[in-house]
Amino acid sequence: MAAVMTASHSTPADPRPALAALLDPTARTWLDESAAKVAADPAAVRRLFPAVRRRCGHGRLTDYWTVDEAARAVLLTALPLRDQALADEITRLHRHGDPAEQRAVLRTLPLLDLGDLALPLVRESLRGNDTTLIEAALGPYAAAHLPHAEYRQAVLKCVFCEIPLDRVTGLDSRADRELARMLADFAHERIVAGRDVPHDILPVVRAFPDVIGAELKHALTDVLTDVLKEEG
Amino acid sequence: MRIFDPHIHMTSRTTDDYEAMYAAGVRAVVEPAFWLGQPRTSPESFYDYFDGLLGWEPYRAAQFGIQHFCTIALNPKEANDPRCVPVLDELDRYLAKDRVVAVGEIGYDSMTPQEDEALARQLQLAIEHELPALVHTPHRDKATGTRSTLDVVRESGIAPELVVLDHLNELTVGMVLDSGCWAGFSIYPKTKMSEDRMVEILKEHGTERVLVNSAADWGRSDPLKTRKTADAMLAAGFDEDDVDKVLWRNPVAFYGQSGRLELDEPKPDEEATFQGNSIRRGGA
């Protein structure tokens, strides 16, 4: 039987070595010079950050990073700012960022020493309806900093938005009885409505068997039987 | 038939429109920043609107198989409201974005000094950001307004091939094409220009440097006017290559000058309905 599969809880790898290997010399030079400019003058990031995707490309780099997100992470980690000043600059980049820029900010959060200061950015993304932003928001930073009630709501929102739960960081350590209850109630609602129950909620629900009420048990057994058949 | 609508305000349109547009052959659109009917009263409203043009709207369009790009500017009408003018100071951030393929809509509405200032300043921003400019011509006193617009464009130093003057008619098309700028036509149910008049203009002036758009928005308008113009062209004896030039290759050439038109060429055998055509409603 599958355990609760989840993205790694740990800090993502430093993207610089992978980037250096992949970028062509022109892009690499641009990025190195841009990072140096940002280190010398933090305001320079405001014009350089939006231009990254055109300069460095946007294919996949690693499981965690795309090329543009990784290159933008290089600029953000070059900012010579700390604490509130760093949070303010990052927040402005996110506030005026297009979705690709916002995803880059969200994915870089675990590499920046911000404490809880970036939680408003995570919350804003979770309120929205762009699933690419919701997914980017639910990385290692959210897993480490989001309060329990908000984390549970975020997981439930993923289920509604059809974001596979294996893309949500921290589910193995943060799934609790209350989340299992919420997902079981959701499953019940779906079964009563004659709609499909997404299978990826079942590992969480099964980890807390007492949340499954008598009337749900019967219905869920059918769903579970189907899943077990599929899993062989 | 593949269609690129170079000027349409999708923010005001429904998902039914997206489906109908896809079925009619529309595969790419440019949405210029403009006014919304209800006047804005602060710069922050503009930023949220720009964010929508760069965020939610392309996301929505993509789910219907349509590629969405935008132009960013302070529009002429609201350039007259001192509460909105500070937007000009933040345009640098937005003009640097990947999906911004021009500065626009800029131009004249009532021919005021404030509009002069906003137009001149934003043409300079186009030069600095190496972007084309989409210039609206006024609905009232159009011929005089178009002449003044051409003067300002010339004085700015921007290359004429980087500029389209839009909403033209029989009386303004000649001076615009003579200037080296592109000529844009908005095909509307009642006002501005009809598909039959458009066909006559194409017969007289040719298909070079001409853009045809629906300019559909929150007013009475029709997002399928591009397709209807294409059909009228074919009925009048233009061939499919002429139609492809006016309704696909011309807008691609004009906005392609931005260097940011990252376009997937549509496949000719694509079916008339896009498979992923139900919008995700999110957290319900």
The predicted pLDDT at position B116 comes to 94
Q: Report yes or no: A85 at the B interface, CB cutoff 8 Å.
A: no
What mean pLDDT do residues A88-105 have? 96
Q: Which of B91, B102, B78 is nearest to B6 (CA)?
A: B102
Q: Check residue B279 and give its pLDDT.
A: 56
Q: In what order do the strands lie in the sheet with B100-107?
A: B3-5, B26-32, B67-72, B100-107, B133-136, B163-166, B182-186, B210-213
Q: What is the pLDDT of residue B256?
A: 97
Which pLDDT does position B189 carry in this prediction?
87
Pick the residue from chain B with its C-alpha nearest to A157. Answer: B283
pLDDT band at A225 (very low <50, low <70, confident <90, very high): low
Of B45, B44, B60, B46, nearest to B11 by C-alpha is B60
Check pLDDT > 60 for residue B192. yes
pLDDT of res. B191: 75
Residue B61: closest CA among B28, B25, B98: B28
pLDDT digits (tens, 9 = 90+) for B96-107: 999 999 999 999
- Res. A5: pLDDT tops 70: no
Instruction: Give pLDDT, residue A224.
Output: 65
* Residue pLDDT, tens place only, B138-176: 988 999 999 999 999 999 999 999 999 999 999 999 999
Q: Which is more confident, A11 or B234?
A: B234
Q: What is the pLDDT of residue A191?
A: 87
- The answer to whether residue A194 neighbours chain B at the CB level (below 8 Å) is no
Residue A135 near residue A167, CB atoms below 8 Å: yes
Confidence class of residue B267 from pLDDT cuts 50, 70 and 90? Answer: low
Contact residues, chain B, for A102 at CB < 8 Å: 55
Chain A nearest-CA distance from B172, in A, is: 37
Tell me whether A231 touches chain B (CB under 8 Å).
no
∠ CA(B259), CA(B265), CA(B271), 5° rounding?
Answer: 150
* Inter-chain CB proximity B93 and A130 less than 8 Å: no
- Expressed in percent and rounded to 5, the helix, strand and coil fractions of chain A are 70, 0, 30
**Segment A210-221 mean pLDDT:** 74
List the single residue in A50, A98, A129 with the smallest CB-CB distance to B280.
A129
Range of lowest pLDDT (B109-118, B133-142, B258-267): B258-267
| Tens-digit pLDDT profile for residues A151-160 | 999 999 999 9
The answer to whether the beta carbons of residues A82 and A71 sit under 8 Å apart is no
Structure tokens at B66: 């349509």
Q: Among B183, B224, B276, B77, which residue's Cα sits nearest to residue A162?
A: B276
pLDDT over 60 at A163, yes or no:
yes
Q: What's the CA angle centered on A92, arms A88 and A95, to 5 degrees?
A: 135
Spatial separation of the C-alpha atoms in residues B31 and B68, rounded to whole Å: 7
pLDDT at residue number A231: 61
Domain edges within chain B: 3-256
| A227 bridge partner residues | none
End-to-end CA distance of chain A: 9
Do A65 and A11 form a contact (C-beta atoms < 8 A)?
no
Cis peptide before B105 (omega within 30 of 0): yes
- Is pLDDT at A6 greater than 70 in this prediction? no
- Is B272 touching A (CB cutoff 8 A)? no
Identify the pLDDT of residue B125.
98
Answer with the residue of higher pLDDT: A126 or B189. A126
| Cβ <8 Å between B283 and A157 | yes
B249 to chain A, closest Cα gap in Å: 23
- Are the beta carbons of B214 and B7 closer than 8 angstroms? yes
| CA-based radius of gyration for chain A | 20
Q: Is A50 on the interface with B (CB under 8 A)?
A: yes
pLDDT band at residue A4, thresholds of 50, 70 and 90?
very low
List of chain A residues whose C-beta atoms are within 8 Å of the C-beta of residue B96: 47, 50-51
Mean pLDDT over A199-224 rounds to: 80
Using CA atoms, how far apart are residues B149 and B100, in angstroms rounded to an integer? 23
Work out the pLDDT band at B111, boundaries 50, 70, 90: very high
User: What is residue A179's predicted lDDT score, i.e. its pLDDT?
Assistant: 96
Q: Look at the block and give the residue holding tokens 């694509």.
A: B270
| Contact at CB, B283 and A131, closer than 8 angstroms | no
Looking at residues B26-45, what average pLDDT do you find?
95
Q: Which of B260, B280, B283 is the closest to A54 by Cβ? A: B260
Pairing of strands B182-186, B163-166: parallel
Q: Kindly provide the residue ranges of all beta strands, DSSP E only, lying in chain B, ordered along the sequence.
A: 3-5, 26-32, 67-72, 100-107, 133-136, 163-166, 182-186, 210-213
From A23-37, A205-219, B10-24, B215-229, the region with the lowest mean pLDDT: A205-219
- Does residue A42 belong to the interface with chain B, where contact is any CB pair within 8 Å? no
Whether the CB of A123 is below 8 Å from some CB of chain B: the reply is no
B260 touches chain A (CB under 8 A): yes
- Flag whether pLDDT at B262 surpasses 50: yes
- Other CB atoms closer than 10 Å to residue B77's CB: what's the count? 20
The whole-angstrom separation of Cα B183 and Cα B164 is 6
Q: Which DSSP string do the residues of B120-153 spell out, in sequence order?
A: HHHHHHHHHTT--EEEEPPSSSHHHHHHHHHHHH
Cβ of B283 within 8 Å of Cβ of A160? The answer is yes
The mean-pLDDT minimum among A214-218, B29-33, B177-181, B238-242 falls in: A214-218
At the top level of CATH, the class of B3-256 is: alpha beta
Q: Please state, for a pLDDT cut of 70, what percent of chain A lies above it.
A: 89
Task: Report ipTM for this prediction.
Answer: 0.79
Q: Which of B93, B95, B101, B262 to mutate to test the interface with A (most CBs of A within 10 A)?
A: B93
Which element (helix H / strand E) includes A87?
helix A83-95
Shortest CA distance from B100: residue in chain A:
A98
B98 touches chain A (CB under 8 A): yes
Q: Which chain B residues are closer than 8 Å to A98 by Cβ? A: 51, 54-55, 97-99
pLDDT level of residue B280 (50, 70, 90 thresholds): low
Q: Is the predicted pLDDT of residue A7 greater than 60, yes or no?
A: no
Averaging pLDDT over each range in A5-14, A74-83, A163-172, which range is the top one? A74-83
The one-character DSSP state at B245 is: I
CB B5, CB B214: distance < 8 Å: yes
Residue B284 pLDDT greater than 60, yes or no: no
